[in-house]
Structure 1
Amino acid sequence: MNLWFFVLLVVTIALVLGPISMLRPNPAQKRKEQLRMQASAQGIRFGMRRLPARKTDMEQPPVLPVYFLPPPTTMQSMDDWVLMRTEYEHEGNFYKEWDWQGNARPIPQVSEQLTSILSTLPHSVPAIAQGKSGTCIFWRETEGEEVLIAVIAVLRNLDALIREAKS
């Protein structure tokens, strides 16, 4: 009788503690949470958004993390433009492997500065966008804190450039 009691006790404890331990975040989730909290502490907002589908996409693009600065209320009426990284460089692209998605484009002053901004972005940034939702950088969060700092600097630089050009 004592043996069955201990077996039943061990099974009961395993049934209670097993699901609880599975709810704990793994190290990769903890790292991403720390990156997002660090960005939030610097005034950068975070969300999950789906990139627009390209003409060559057979499936809907995945939902990706996006870091963004909201637009000022005076810029709410502007068109959304999206600049996406393609799989290859082509002379028809805007800059190297970067090409426009859709028909909207930024104003000429911003377009002129984008090439220098694009050359500083890591390969884990598949797109940048600007419009009603603010100035956005899509980032896969595969790197660490150093790249986050660089992404935030690019985001602030791009946002300031757009605000300056609009005023």
Structure 2
Amino acid sequence: MSEWLPVIIIGFAIALVLGPVMWLKPNQRDSRLADLRGRAARAGITVQIQALPEALGEGTAAVYYYRWKDRKRLQIGWKLQRQRITHEMNFAGSWDWGNSVRAPQAAWQQLHQLLDSLPADCCAIIATDVGLGVQWQENGGVKAFSQLSESLAEYTPLIEESVRKISPIKLPED
């Protein structure tokens, strides 16, 4: 037994060193999320973590923001959220406004098209001063990310112009 004691002590010491190191190593899901968010950063998309819409329960999901080209005079602060049920009174099927602020009606056609082009696990569209954001539960991997980023790149400029407040034109005085 005495000849095994040094081997046991060395094995225990190695376990003490490797245990915490293995805890620091990211798991497969964390590595996948880091890859998706790295791709987003390289594409100029800002990622923030926010609470899920109330209808979807508790928890959080990432919001991928495509920045506005010109943030001046935009009508923002509105949010479209996925609802638990599909209803004809909703904005679009299972999507409805998340607060009392709605996007200008001029943007509704582009919003419908954006909703149709997004991955299935998207749960909100948010217009803030950061940009136009899509809350996404980050399932579907690189293929779903490509679909999301292409949709944001295509529809953000169109929606941006549709939600811009029109300045009154001043006529010259006689």
Same-fold call, TM > 0.5? yes
Helix, strand or coil for the counterpart of 2:133?
Answer: strand
- Structure 1: stretches of 5+ with no match in the other structure: none
Secondary structure in 2 aligned to 1:127? strand
Residue 110 (structure 2) pairs with residue 113 (structure 1): yes
Match of 2:12 in 1: 11
Structure 2 partner of 1:99 = 96
Runs of 4+ in 1 over 4 A off after TM superposition: none
Once the two structures are superposed, residues 54-75 of structure 1 have per-residue CA deviations (whole angstroms, 9 ceiling, x without a partner) of 5xx7x6x312111112444425
Q: Which aligned pairs between 1:14-163 and structure 2 lie closer than 5 A? A: 14-54=15-55, 61-71=58-68, 72-75=70-73, 78-163=75-160
- Distance in 2 (CA, whole Å) between partners of 1:147 and 1:17 is 36
Identity %: 28
Unpaired segments ≥5 residues, structure 2: 167-174
- Whether the 8 Å CA contact 2:122–2:136 is kept in 1: the answer is yes
- Aligned AA for 1:136? G
Letter in 1 for 2:115: L
Matches of 1:151 and 1:29, distance apart in 2: 20
- Per-residue CA deviation, residues 34-54 of structure 1 (Å, 9 max, x unaligned), is 111111111111121113535
Counterpart residue number, 2:161: 164
* Residues paired across the two proteins, number: 162
Q: TM-score with structure 1 length normalisation?
A: 0.87
Q: CA deviation at 1:160?
A: 0.5
Partner Cα separation in structure 2 for residue 122 and residue 42 of structure 1? 18
Contact kept, 8 Å, 1:82 with 1:128, in 2: the verdict is: yes
CA deviations 1:130-165 (Å, max 9, x no partner) are 023321111111111111111012222332023222
| SS state at 1:154 partner | helix
Q: SS where residue 48 of structure 2 aligns?
A: strand
Asked if the contact 1:83/1:101 (under 8 Å) is kept, the reply is: yes
Aligned AA (2:54): A
Q: Answer yes or no: is the 8 Å Cα contact 1:78–1:132 preserved in 2.
A: no
TM-score, normalised with respect to structure 2: 0.84
CA distance in 2, matches of 1:112, 1:120: 13
Q: Give 1 or 2 for the bigger CA radius of gyration.
A: 2
Matching residue's letter, 1:30:
S
CA RMSD of aligned residues (A): 1.9
